[in-house]
Amino acid sequence: MVAQRRGNLKVNGSAAIEKKIKRANAQRQASARKRTVVGTVLWCAAVTVCAALGWWYYVTTGEHITETLVSRRELLQQPKVFSVPCSEDYDNYKRFPGCTPQSCGRAVTDTVVTREEASALKQLAERGLSLGGSEGGASILDLHSGALSMGKQFVNIYKYSGEQIKDVFSKEDFDLYKDVRGRIQGMIAETFGLDPSRLYLTKPTFFSRINSTDAKTAHDEYWHPHIDKVTYGSFDYTSLLYLSDFGTDFGGGRFIFMDATGNRTVEPRAGRVSFFTSGSENLHRVEKVTWGTRYAITVSFTCDSDHAIDNPTLP
Ligand SMILES: *[C@@H]1O[C@H](CO)[C@@H](O)[C@H](O)[C@H]1NC(C)=O
Ligand SMILES: *[C@@H]1O[C@H](CO)[C@@H](O)[C@H](O)[C@H]1NC(C)=O
């Protein structure tokens, strides 16, 4: 009996101990789980901070940006003008008094073209480019010559689309284009102290659409540093009208002036016009677009009437 009871006691006792052990184990497991959760959270936080720092490092130093001349967030009430000493490039060409750059520089304005006008011009570009488009990331549409990117080459949109062109472009589109380019010309003349009637529109003047798709031909490689006057001897003043916003419509794609003393960017903003003298004093490039689609118009001017082109007209 006694032994029996003792045995029961023993059984009861060991059951209690077992329970205790189980409880202690459960507690230990719970706190281990808690430690794992805390550890994971800390680890994630550390990874996030490192990624953010890495991204920041890439954005600021990866592209070697020294200074942002005008950011996307700014809305300029007055043109911002930056002087740079003229290069000797202009000495290699005939000089045209009242037009050939005497003082050089670059400027940005947000008041020459409205965002509504930029939006209308972007829609014009979208409609035109929807008829073609490069296989690579960069497509152009030139309303003057009719050149339109198509696969790996170009077609003449006016010949290629025949009567269909009337459904794509209207007289109002061409009037707006002409009006806007006239205002840009006026602003360049005013800023650089030129006689506007001695400045002529020249080629190429074109719409561009850029996305992140890899280049398929050299025509798609827009990101190389270049000097407009070296590429096209006739250029004296180059302007860019942006039709979409850096940071919301696309990433990358900032314009970079590559000076010996540093890389200075202009962040695109729909309706923003950036213009500059075309010589080596304004060596530049465009960052690769990383996402989204960037629309812009390049409007080029010359002082040499032999290289002048007319406003485009609907065929
Ligand atoms: C970029 O544009 C081309 C047309 O030019 C198109 O085929 C391609 O899918 C686009 N890529 C992206 C990433 O949107
Ligand atoms: C400008 O950026 C390029 C890369 O795009 C870099 O090689 C160069 O060192 C930078 N220039 C300066 C002065 O930071």
The pLDDT value given to residue 1:
44
| 3-class DSSP string for the chain | CHHHHHHHHHHHHHHHHHHHHHHHHHHHHHHHHHHHHHHHHHHHHHHHHHHHHHHHHHHHHHCCEEEEEECCCCCCCCCEEEEECCCCHHHHCCCCCCCCCCCEEEEEECCCCCHHHHHHHHHHHHHHHCCCEECCCEEEECCCCCEEEEECEEEEHHHHCHHHHHHHCCHHHHHHHHHHHHHHHHHHHHHHCCCHHHCEEEEEEEEEEECCCCCCCHHHCCCCCECHHHHCCCCCEEEEEECCCECCCEEECCEEEEECCEEEEECCCCCCEEEEECCHHHCEEECCEEEECEEEEEEEEECCHHHCCCCCCCC
Give the residue, by CA position, lying nearest to ligand 2 atom 5: 63
The pLDDT value given to residue 58:
58
Identify the residues whose C-beta falls under 6 Å from ligand 1: 133-134, 137, 139, 211-213
Q: Could you identify the atom of ligand 1 that is nearest to the CA of residue 134?
A: 5
Distance 55 CA to ligand 2 centre (A): 18
The pLDDT value given to residue 18:
74
The pLDDT value given to residue 7:
47
The pLDDT value given to residue 22:
77
Q: Specify whether 127 is catalytic.
A: no
Q: Could you identify the atom of ligand 2 that is nearest to the CA of residue 225?
A: 5
Q: Over its length of 315 residues, how does the chain's per-residue pLDDT go in tens digits? A: 444 444 444 555 566 667 776 777 777 777 777 777 777 767 847 766 657 766 665 555 556 899 999 999 999 999 999 999 999 999 999 999 999 999 999 999 999 999 999 999 999 999 999 999 999 999 999 999 999 999 999 999 999 888 888 899 999 999 999 999 999 999 999 999 999 999 999 999 999 999 999 999 998 999 999 999 999 999 999 999 999 999 999 999 999 999 999 999 999 999 999 999 999 999 999 999 999 999 999 999 999 999 999 999 988
Q: Could you identify the atom of ligand 2 that is nearest to the CA of residue 258?
A: 1
The pLDDT value given to residue 14:
65
64 lines ligand 2 (CB under 6 A): yes
pTM of the model: 0.82
